[in-house]
Every structure is written in C-alpha cells, then in structure tokens.
Structure 1
Amino acid sequence: MHREVELTVYGAEVLCPSCVNLPSSKETYEWLQAALSRKYPDQPFNITYVDIHNPPEEAEKQEFAQRVIEEDMFYPVVLVEDEIVGEGNPKLKTIYSAMEKHGYQPA
C-alpha cells in the first residue's frame, strides 16, 4: 500500500427527512471507523466527520458541505478520496470495494 486513503463523512446532527429510522451521521461515522479498522487492521487510513452546517475552514470541505445542502443529498454522504461511495444509508460492501481499489487488503 502506498499512502493512507482519506475518507470523509458529511452529515448533520439532525437526521435527513428521508433517513428516519437510520443511524445518525455521527453514528455512521463511528460505525464506519470501527468496521474499516477491523477489515483492514494495521492499514492506516484517515476518516473525518464534517458537519454540513458547521464545516471546517478548509475551502474544499466547505464547498462540498454546501453542495450536500444545495443538492438535497441524503446524508451522511461518504467519500473515499473525492469519490462519493455512499449516501443516506451507505453500504459497507461499496466502501470496502473503493478501499480495495486504493490497495487495501482485507484481513
């Protein structure tokens, strides 16, 4: 493996209207972090949570957070590098596939 992959989970405190009965964005972020750590032990990656209503100073993250709001995306929206791999209720299989494209090997 060459370098750590960057995952970003965009979401909000309040569930999106179409996401009732699903975990919150923050819960999805924590679940994803745990699942990826188990699937790819000793293979580091960066995972960041971004609140779409209070994004960090980075212009790139602010712009995508605004896009989530403007395009009424279902959140959480999960990105691997800059590719959207999950929206609303992200599927682990899809995220694993994206990770493996970047050289991660399942345990």
Structure 2
Amino acid sequence: MGKTVEITVYGADQLCPSCVNLPSSKDTYEWLQAAISRKYGNDGIEYAYIDIFSPPNNKKNQEFAQRVVEEEFFYPVVLVDDEVAGEGNPKLKTIYQLLEQKGINQVE
C-alpha cells in the first residue's frame, strides 16, 4: 500500500447557524466513514474528527479550528490531506474525486 490519505472533519456538537436541517458534524463524520469505506475499503485512509471548540493541542489543528470558529468556513469542514473538500453540507462526489487524485482506488 502506498501513502495514507487523511480525512479530517472539523465540527462542533451544536449545529452551524446556517446549517439548519442538515446532519450534525458528528453524523456527517460517521456518514463519510461509512460511505467512503463502502466504496474504497479501509486501507490507506485515516479519519480524524476535530471539535472546533476544543481542538487537540497542536498548532495546525488549533489554527484551522480557529478559522472555522471565526466563520471563514461553514462547519462541518472536510479536509482531504489538508485540502478543503467540502463545508456545511459536503458532497461525496467531490471527496471521492480528491481521494482518487491522491491514489485511492475503489474496491472491487
């Protein structure tokens, strides 16, 4: 197996004010894991969920979480290897395209 691709979801327990009637950040995170693993399996993909109001103690996560809190993005924000793949209501098609560009292949 080649390089590992990391999918990171930045979100919060409370719903984004502009995201009424959309799933919560955690629900989106779990839905993405299920959808991606069905299509691509689990090899070569790692997942992380970052709460924007209590990010882990590292500069990269804290800085990006702060950008979301300051409303530069609608949450949940989905990153594929640090590239924004979607926000608010992320689209699977866009995430799939990024995964394939990064060498992740569909399972047979």
TM range (shorter): over 0.9
Aligned to 2:87: 87
- Gap regions ≥5 residues in structure 1: none
More deviation, 65-74/50-59: 65-74
Instruction: Say which SS state the counterpart of residue 50 (structure 2) adopts.
Output: strand
Amino acid at match of 1:47: Y
Distance 1:92 1:43 in 2: 18
Distance 1:90 1:57 in 2: 26
Distance 2:54 2:42 in 1: 32
- Residue 19 of structure 2 is aligned to residue 19 of structure 1: yes
Residues 6-85 of structure 1 correspond to what in structure 2 (within 5 A)? 6-85=6-85
User: So what's the TM-score if we normalise by structure 2?
Assistant: 0.94
Identity of aligned residues (%): 64
User: So what's the TM-score if we normalise by structure 1?
Assistant: 0.95
Aligned residues: 107
CA RMSD after TM alignment: 1.1
Distance 1:42 1:9 in 2: 17
Distance 2:106 2:54 in 1: 34
Point out 4+ residue stretches in structure 1 off by more than 3 angstroms.
none
Distance 1:72 1:97 in 2: 24
Distance 1:84 1:95 in 2: 9
Aligned to 2:102: 102
